[in-house]
Structure 1
Amino acid sequence: METVWRPVPREGFTERSTGRMEFKVGGLPCWLQDPQRHVCACGAEMAFLCEIPECTEFSRRPGRADQRHDSYGDSYVLLLGNAVHLLACPEHCHPAAVWPVPQN
């Protein structure tokens, strides 16, 4: 179960929800910094799709090149190891209508 936190709104402060930081598809995003909202080129507000926690390692296949300038050894990381949230267009206007939001 995810924790939801909804502060009492006041001037200059918006209501938000926070989920657990884990590798997940759907649910509530766990923003490490302020939540980010993006609008698709079609005009729809992009929706949370998935989250990759910071320092998530992806195994490197044998014989493949090392990731340059890293200290992860036999694995790769995305966007310097920062947490990554993917937002997608809920209108499905284009297969590539996805926006990465890195946070640290």
Structure 2
Amino acid sequence: MSAPPPESERVRTEPVWRAAIEDAPAVAGDDAVGGPAWLPPGFAHPRCGRCDAAMQPFVQLTVREEYGLPFAAGSRLALFMCPTHNDPAEPEILETGRYPESYRTEQGDHFAALLFPPGDFRPSDAGPDRLRPLRLTFARGEQSVAVVKNAAGEVVHESGEETFRLGGTPCWINYRVTAECACGGRLAPLLALPENQGFPKRPETATQPDSFSSDEDCYLLGNVVTVLACDRQCDPRSTLTLCDN
């Protein structure tokens, strides 16, 4: 009998929650793209570290129990980016081990990914209004995951689909991060964006710098984006935003 190949690939399926941007205005309490930033009382609206401009909210959503994510139901995820500086995130890539405390503030000063614990949220009167405020909905679905194992049966790589979704195995292309938060919590998959995911902008606003479209803005230069978050939720800034292509 011939020896097995040094690596073999299998495919499995797993549940995910697929996102859709609806052509319907978002109202208070909706999951949304664009619109005002909903923040805890006293939490300052994020500003760009390069130009001091108030950041544009791109995605805001509430974590719900039915999603089966390892975060408290009622938590609120908010993705922001400077309206002018459209660059990829540049965190240190640690595939294993534990991130230092500094990782929360050293991924890039032109964007923010924040996971707030459940509580009271109020609209911010700061920030640009480039994007159309549209409802964001999630529907339960499945994704295929490619799993690569070595001859010993150990998983050496796995990658989910390149889609806009909550949860599930990330679409790992050039790396696979299993490192821990500085507090020792697991950095668990939260949100995924595919390459060139568009966010419809208001027609009267100028074209976003370095965007692929005159009608849509992109997040972090339109890269494949994976947002991981500490499952202990030790700090709203305990997220890791990874760009891949």
TM-score if structure 1 supplies the norm length? Answer: 0.82
CA, structure 1 residues 44+85, in 2 after alignment: closer, same or farther (shift >3 Å)?
Answer: same
Whether 1:28 and 2:169 are equivalent positions in the alignment is yes
For structure 1, the residue ranges without an aligned partner over 5 or more in a row are none
Q: Does 1:76 align with 2:217?
A: yes
SS of equivalent residue, structure 2 residue 221: helix
Distance 1:69 1:15, change over 3 A: closer
2: CA distance between counterparts of 1:71 and 1:50? 22
The residue matched to 1:4 in structure 2 has which SS?
Answer: strand
TM superposition outliers: structure 1 runs of 4+ over 4 Å: none
Instruction: Tell me the residue number matched to 2:186.
Output: 45
Q: How many residues matched?
A: 103
Contact 2:199-2:216 at 8 Å conserved across structures: yes
Corresponding residue number in structure 1 for 2:197 = 56
Shift of 1:30: 1.5
C-alpha RMSD of the superposition: 2.1
Deviations 1:4-44 (A, max 9, x none): 33333358x85333222110001121112221234322122
Unmatched segments (≥5 aa) in structure 2: 1-141
How many Å separate the matches in 2 of 1:23 and 1:43? 28
* Separation in 1, partners of 2:146, 2:188: 19
Greater Cα offset, 21-30 or 83-92: 21-30
Give CA deviations for 1:56-83 in whole Å, capped at 9, x if unaligned. Answer: 1101123333211334101101111110
Identity, % of aligned positions = 32
Higher strand share: 2
The structure with higher relative contact order (CA 8 Å, sep 6+) is: 2
- Structure 2 CA distance for aligned equivalents of residues 69 and 78 of structure 1: 11
